[in-house]
Structure formats: structure tokens, C-alpha cells
Amino acid sequence: YDPPEQLGADRWLSLVGMLSDFTADACRDAPGGLMLATFGTATTIDTATPDAVAPDTIAMPASNRTATRDVQPAGAARRPAAWAFRGGLILPGPAMMHSALARGTALLPDADGEVADYPTRTLDAIASGIAAAQAGALVRQWAVGLKRHGQPPRVYVTGGGWPALADEVKRQLAHAQAQAGVAQRPARWLPAPVLDGLAAMARSGVGAAASAGVAQ
């Protein structure tokens, strides 16, 4: 990340939490990497991929990459020793998009609507536009990962805005997977990846080193 200290602690810890969940999952590998979409005040969509660095390497400022150890339980299936943060998107979250429309226009209300293919009510048109924008950003990064690595990334989602977006994201992601001719793999929900990340770092004893690495 450039500069590394601008990668927020919440984004870093969420990625560590995602990797911890992946390590504990039954899946054996993720050659296309892992994506985490956080739908909060801001929406962030970040990607981590397997990296060939040594397991004790936390930060690599010279190559503009930040890696984290893979915390593996005894007897676990072989997985990458390290992961690299590749970057990601930051955009207004769904609630911020909604309130910005209400503040910046004279006639658009700040109220909830229903997502529809062809909305015929203003509230539904707003809800549908916001859901389409959020889902489109996620699918865009998924497609970037597929093109870059030749394999689709696994998708994780979290954040308070997810429930209102879930149906649209699931639909667009499934459509993208079908169009690409890859296996259908729905997004995996993580209720508290920041806390999961803190717990994983405490268990592995790398908390201080990781924090120092991000701050370089």
C-alpha cells in the first residue's frame, strides 16, 4: 500500500480475519485469491492473493505489497505460507449514497425502497440504483481477479449494508460466474472479520510485528 500507514487498521484486520476463516474452512486452495467486500459507511472491496514470500514477512514496502502470515492449525491442509494485499476499491457505502442523493437534490426522499429490475417508484429506483452500483463494483473486482490470475477469487462479504444488497449481489455474482463458465460459488458472510483478525493475530503471536509492518 502506498503509503502503508494509510491502509486503515480496520481493513487490515478484516483481511486477517478473512484469511483466518479461509484457513479454518474445508477448502484447500484459492489460486484466484480472496476478496472481501465490506458494506459500511464506506464500501471497501479488497483482494489478497497467495504470495511466495517467506512466512515471517509482514510488509514489503519496496514492492508496494503488504503480506500477512497464514495462521494454520496443526494437521491443516497445505495452503500458501503467506498472502499479499493487492489493493482494492473505496466507494461510498449504500447509506451514504442514499443520504447524498437526498441532500444533493430537491425532490429525492431519504427513505427506503425495494430493489427491482424496472422500478416505477422513486424510492425503488433509488434502492435499485444503489444496489446495482454496489454489486457492480464487487463484480468488477471479481472479474479483474479472474482475468489477472486465471482463476476466480473467492468472495467474502461483511458490514451492516449487506442485508439490503444481498439479493442483488448474489444475482450479479452468479450471472458473472455463469458468463465466465466457472463454478457457482456464492459469497461467504463474515459477521465480525475485524474481531476475527484480532483473535487470529493474538493466537499466532504476530500482532505487534504485523502492526509495525503496516505502519512502515
Q: What is the DSSP string of the chain?
A: --SGGGS-HHHHHHHHHHHHHHHHSS----TT-EEEEEESSEEEEEEEEEE-S-TT--EEGGGTEEEEE----TTPPP--SEEEEEEEEEEE-HHHHHHHHHHH-SS--S------SS--SHHHHHHHHHHHHHHHHHHHHHHHHHHHHSSPPEEEEESTTHHHHHHHHHHHHHHHHHHHT----PPEE-S-HHHHHHHHHHHHT-HHHHHHHHT-
Complete domains list, the chain, with CATH: 4-206 (3.30.420.40)
Per the annotation, the verdict on 10 as an active-site residue is yes
pTM over 0.85: no
- Can you give the pLDDT of all 216 residues of the chain as single tens digits? 888 888 889 999 999 999 989 887 655 567 889 999 999 999 999 999 987 533 333 332 333 344 444 444 444 444 555 888 999 999 999 999 999 998 888 778 878 899 999 999 999 999 999 999 999 999 999 999 999 999 999 999 999 999 999 999 999 999 999 999 999 999 999 999 999 999 998 987 765 444 433 332
Catalytic residue from among 2, 10, 70, 167: 10
